[in-house]
A and B are shown apart, each in its own frame.
Chain A
């Protein structure tokens, strides 16, 4: 018994060392930095300790902007992308003939590089001296004056960012939901049909509860992923996100460390901890909701 226990620890050792060195230790470090004022990583020195870093970032208009952007992004894209993915998966499940082709098409964005996708979105949305951008050309058919989506009004930029994010996260969700739908046994549908169940009721009373664990999984990972959004904004608006009013929390953390206004690991740490607390809170709420509403096999 004792021997097998020590063996078990031995097998776990590589993972523990790596996780400890690259996950746990930095986490604790970040937590400590966030309470050390003006920490300098080169000289390893700081002025004092306290909650000053938190007070600073919570009063920093750039951080508040990043916070607002992130929340809008999360609240718009997570429900929207999940809902759209569900609809597309349902449609895919009912297509018989060229389902393989459709599945490939819907999955393409997943294997495409973020920055390459950003380029495509540029063609769609960016105004250049030569063209108004594809979307504007289409809009002009409806008599709409061209909108500057990349450097124009806040709502237009946010729209592009949301569309982009939804588009990027959907393939994975479609993949997961398609397999979840396929795993619902045909007999349940047959039984429901024999009993005269309407398709709407079959969907709400049978399909939805049965795939609810997967939907929940997508929502929770969707929330976490959206809170950590950064590269999507960079792909569209470039690296100076503060100027574009499109910064996110992770973007703010990056700027504080390495950006033009960078070199403030203390502020970055405090922002990271704030992000951590937000994600933790949302996830806990999600888990509580899950207990109440999600069917567990």
Chain B
């Protein structure tokens, strides 16, 4: 089922007399193609959970429309939309067993959709097999690990065969190792069921690794939508460039003069077909190449060997952060006796942003 958002806005009324109206989602329009896994990505408070709740139906939009396929669902109550939702804290009913939790949505069905007890059990065991929790069916949620609870929550959301599956920060309550494993699981389950899935996360790595599409948000505004690699390689503005990638992009104050890019007094790259102006320079950590002939000279403050790669921790007076990191191949010869290092920059890893608008100019 494809999901279309058409100039969708959600504003919350001000709290108290001095409060300001909060615009959680501001004029959103985009289309999620059928059967894709989409990540809503942004820092805390950017409105991504609000957007999810709008799709789910727990919130009513202030303006705009939501379509599932060609049918508008903006006015429909959540239960009529055919969505499955996995909550951040899973919201498993603690007094019910795993089986009872999974069956719960089926027991709500009425009229012609009503299922027999055996049918419900059969369906519950089917999804349990899909998320691999068949042997836990008689346990209470409190007797399960975080990862298992997560699977139960997904099973409960899937059991009524929703048209759209929504996950709110599905991995945030898991430890690092489990998180890696579970995100693969989510990907696998989504592939096997083919259900259009939207999930919310503030962790860009999570989103990049499993999503077909990512939607980057900031302050209720859509920043960029696209395939993870495309957004990473071709960010639309400074915010998106900074938000994606670990270690983060390194940013510097720079200037274009006579078609040449300067960082401080050092001319680092040319030619650029741009008018003379001051810019922000963003360089991906993998965009630095230590070379004798490198034009960009930085102070080397530490070297971190991580097996496959080496990370150079460096300083430069024009950098926006006190220290920044470059990732280079471990066979690259680096003279650690020197306090400075000369670097060349890879052209496709360098982005230039306008100083006022922070929009990308190159």
Contacts of A206 in B (CB 8 A): 93
Query: Would you give the 0/1 interface string for A174-206, flagging 1 where the beta carbon is closer than 8 Å to chain B?
Result: 000000000001011011111111100100011
Query: Which B-chain residue is minimally distant from A201 (CB atoms)?
Result: B108
A195 touches B108 (CB 8 A): yes
B79 touches A193 (CB 8 A): yes
B94 touches A295 (CB 8 A): yes
For chain B residues 54-96, which have a beta carbon within 8 Å of chain A? 56-58, 77-80, 83-85, 87-89, 91, 93-95
B94 touches A194 (CB 8 A): no
Q: Does A162 contact B (CB under 8 A)?
A: no
A194 to B142, CA, bound (A): 23
CB < 8 Å neighbour of B57 from A194, A209, A295: A194
For chain B residues 150-182, which have a beta carbon within 8 Å of chain A? 156, 160
B91 touches A191 (CB 8 A): yes
Q: Does B105 contact A (CB under 8 A)?
A: yes
A297 to B108, CA, bound (A): 25
Query: Which A-chain residue is minimally distant from B56 (CB atoms)?
Result: A194
Query: Which A-chain residue is minimally distant from B86 (CB atoms)?
Result: A191
**Shortest distance between the CB of A189 and any CB in chain B (Å):** 9
Q: Does B243 contact A (CB under 8 A)?
A: no
For chain B residues 117-162, which have a beta carbon within 8 Å of chain A? 142, 156, 160
Q: Does A229 contact B (CB under 8 A)?
A: no
Contacts of A194 in B (CB 8 A): 56-58, 78-79, 83-85
Q: Does A210 contact B (CB under 8 A)?
A: yes
CB < 8 Å neighbour of A197 from B80, B83, B85, B108: B108
Contacts of B93 in A (CB 8 A): 188, 205-206, 209
Size range of the interface on A? 10 to 19
Q: Name, among A192, A194, A197, A295, the residue most crowded by chain B CB atoms within 10 Å (CB to CB).
A: A194
Query: Which A-chain residue is minimally distant from B82 (CB atoms)?
Result: A196
B95 touches A187 (CB 8 A): no
On whether A191 and B85 interact (CB within 8 A), knowing A196-B79, A196-B105, A196-B108, the answer reads yes
Contacts of B84 in A (CB 8 A): 194
A193 touches B78 (CB 8 A): yes
A188 touches B108 (CB 8 A): no
A188 to B87, CA, bound (A): 9
Query: Which B-chain residue is minimally distant from A186 (CB atoms)?
Result: B91
Contacts of B156 in A (CB 8 A): 191, 195
**Shortest distance between the CB of A143 and any CB in chain B (Å):** 47
Q: Does B104 contact A (CB under 8 A)?
A: yes
A187 touches B87 (CB 8 A): yes
Query: Which B-chain residue is minimally distant from A202 (CB atoms)?
Result: B108
On whether A295 and B95 interact (CB within 8 A), knowing A194-B57, A198-B108, A201-B108, the answer reads yes
CB < 8 Å neighbour of A210 from B83, B89, B95, B107: B95
Query: Which B-chain residue is minimally distant from A195 (CB atoms)?
Result: B105
A198 to B109, CA, bound (A): 10
CB < 8 Å neighbour of A209 from B87, B95, B160: B95
Contacts of B142 in A (CB 8 A): 297
A209 to B89, CA, bound (A): 19
A194 to B105, CA, bound (A): 9
Query: Which A-chain residue is minimally distant from B160 (CB atoms)?
Result: A195
On whether A190 and B91 interact (CB within 8 A), knowing A195-B105, A195-B160, A196-B105, the answer reads yes
A256 to B260, CA, bound (A): 107
**Shortest distance between the CB of B28 and any CB in chain A (Å):** 21
Q: Name, among A191, A192, A197, A209, the residue most crowded by chain B CB atoms within 10 Å (CB to CB).
A: A191
Which B residues are closer than 8 A to A by beta carbons? 56-58, 77-80, 83-85, 87-89, 91, 93-95, 104-105, 107-109, 142, 156, 160
Known: A195-B105, A206-B93. 20 other contacts (CB 8 A): A185-B91, A187-B87, A187-B88, A187-B89, A188-B91, A192-B104, A193-B78, A194-B56, A194-B57, A194-B58, A194-B78, A195-B160, A196-B105, A198-B108, A201-B107, A201-B108, A205-B93, A205-B104, A295-B94, A295-B95
**A to B CB contacts below 8 Å, 15 in the list:** A185-B89, A187-B89, A190-B87, A191-B87, A191-B91, A193-B77, A193-B79, A194-B58, A194-B84, A195-B156, A196-B78, A205-B104, A209-B95, A210-B95, A297-B142
Which A residues are closer than 8 A to B by beta carbons? 185, 187-188, 190-198, 201, 205-206, 209-210, 295, 297
What 4 pairs between A and B have smallest CB-CB spacing? A196-B79, A195-B105, A295-B95, A187-B91
